[in-house]
Structure 1
Amino acid sequence: MAGEPQADCLFCKIVAGDVPATVVRETATTVAFRDINPQAPSHVLVIPRVHYPDAASLAEAEPETAADVLREAGAVAAQEKVADSGYRVIFNTGTGAGQTVFHAHAHVLGGRGLAWPPG
């Protein structure tokens, strides 16, 4: 059922504390942790505690939680000291866009020049 933890989901396991992660922020609705394969000096994932496969399904079912993810992305950028120099928030949706874990999540990247368009 949407919103419920999924036994085979890596991010649900991180939320539950069953898989270790370098957590940088937590709220009642989100967890933010360092990406294990960083693409920038600062690369943090912000995930909702609830399970939805992508950002669109999260936003449709729980718009307040989707807003929490975006709010936390900004808080992470400030904490990482990249808010003033600029940062990028990315939601990959589907394998064609590079999504590998099907639990909604935002990538917060900063700390280097981020040319557009990306690769």
Structure 2
Amino acid sequence: MPRSTSEVFDSHLNLRIDGDLERDLVENYSEKVVLLTVNSNMSGHDAIRASAARLREQPPGAKFEFVAKQVNGPHALMIWRATSQRFDDVKGADSFVIKAGKIVSQSIRYRLVAG
């Protein structure tokens, strides 16, 4: 039986906190995951890798805080913020569609505020 939306979502968050992107991809993401952001419309694990790299570069050394999370059926939402030396605040929201125990769609939106 596939994992529930909450189980996949919690696993994703924990692995990202641990910095284990590759394990997160294998355990939690469909190989055909669709990623939508303000500047990308891509699919596959390489899309998630590119997005993660971009986020690491923009606020280098950021400290992340998960503000809220919601799960409803196959849908999940995470509200987050981060601070770094380069930016005062990063306000973000990620939404997910999780089916058959894998993330099949993710959208990301965040706003960088210069320090």
TM-score over 0.5 (shorter chain)? no
- TM-score normalized by structure 1? 0.29
- TM-score normalized by structure 2? 0.29
